[in-house]
Amino acid sequence: MTPLRKLSSLLACSALLVACSPEPSGVPLISEARAGESPAQALYDQATTAEEEGRIKKALKSYKTINTRFPQSSIAAEATYRYAKLLESDNELLDAFEAYDDLLTKYPASTHYGEAIERQEELAHQAAQGVIRNTFIGLSTSLGSKKITEMLAQLRDNAPQAPSAPKAQFTIAEILDKQSGKADEAIEQYRQLVRDYPDSEYAPEAQYRIGDSLVRQSSQGNADAANIDRARKAFDDLLLRYPNHPRAVDAKKSLERIRIDDIKRSFEIAEFYRKKGQLSSAVFYYQETVRKSDDGELKTQAQNWIKKLGS
């Protein structure tokens, strides 16, 4: 076979392989999208007619069918939007939230994108406030905190640069903060808000609550000195970042309470060692009390004990 004939044979084989190769996964054929236009439009017309006639279930079914069977059709985004709106008007609020989420995820170029974010925000915060509830066999129960935080996280992640995002993040942290045993998780969520949205209106409050939560943990039995140190740093950071925010005043008061409690703790430790007869340790903590204190009763008592024990 001549070189020219060999080259022609190779090109022919390559063309055959390309023609026989499967379409890349997840990428619809143009012919499939076009083929779906006519039935999708027919279903949409059925849905709008049913909606106008008050046949809500029929309309919902048709809109959903467009979304599931013809997601690439030109009418799919509008059908998904109509589906979400109809669910909301029919008081199927959890399903409406997910339908709006579907619109935001699949059709970010939709003209209804902004409205979908607004509706999701309203529904997510209604869930957080206990307005939206689970219903089953005539019984109504509050949504679990896990479900609510998942909804808020979806809202945040769908539009991370929108004003709704820091509000959603703050609400997630607040929900965790109200639950027993979730303080550390709440602190981490507050920290995430300050990291991701330092200029938002919620950041100063989140920064304050980090310190406040650490102080509460210490006062409720978790007297880890590291907690107090972290609380002090959180309040210092607030004063550095947001010196003119109203919470800066509260941070200064909290720092002063921490300082006073620290002085009292040093004096109490000194008293403990003195009564145990461990006088060198007692003198050390009395000296710490004097070093940390302004003029006052505790400082005077500590100075007197230093003199007595030193003699």
Q: Give the pLDDT confidence of 37-95 residue by residue, as tens digits.
A: 889 999 999 999 999 999 999 999 999 999 999 999 999 999 999 999 999 999 999 99
pLDDT at residue 219, rounded to an integer: 76
Q: Give the pLDDT confidence of 153-200 residue by residue, as tens digits.
A: 999 999 999 999 999 999 999 999 999 889 999 999 999 999 999 999
Q: Other CB atoms closer than 10 Å to residue 124's CB: what's the count?
A: 27
pLDDT at residue 205 is higher than 50: yes
Least confident of 4-18, 53-67, 223-237: 4-18
Q: How far apart are CA 6 and CA 138, in angstroms?
A: 77
Output 95 or 29, whichever has higher pLDDT. 95
Q: Other CB atoms closer than 10 Å to residue 62's CB: what's the count?
A: 23
Q: How far apart are CA 96 and CA 118, in angstroms?
A: 13
What is the pLDDT confidence band of residue 310, given thresholds at 50, 70 and 90?
confident
Q: How far apart are CA 76 and CA 109, in angstroms?
A: 12
Residue 142, classed as helix, strand or coil, is strand
Indicate the CATH number of 36-132+142-162 among 1.10.1530.10, 1.10.1740.110, 1.25.40.10, 1.20.210.10.
1.25.40.10
Mean predicted confidence (pLDDT) in 254-267: 93
Q: Give the pLDDT confidence of 99-138 residue by residue, as tens digits.
A: 999 999 999 999 999 999 999 999 999 999 988 877 655 5
pTM attached to this predicted model: 0.79
In angstroms, how far is CA 213 from the centroid of its own chain?
18
Residue 136, classed as helix, strand or coil, is strand
Q: How far apart are CA 303 and CA 278, in angstroms?
A: 17
pLDDT at residue 222, rounded to an integer: 52
User: Do residues 239 and 211 lie in contact, with contact meaning Cβ atoms separated by under 8 Å?
Assistant: no
Mean predicted confidence (pLDDT) in 218-246: 87
The full set of domain ranges for the chain reads 36-132+142-162, 263-311
* Burial class of residue 264 in the structure, from the number of CB atoms within 10 Å of its CB (0-12 exposed, 13-18 middle, 19+ buried): middle
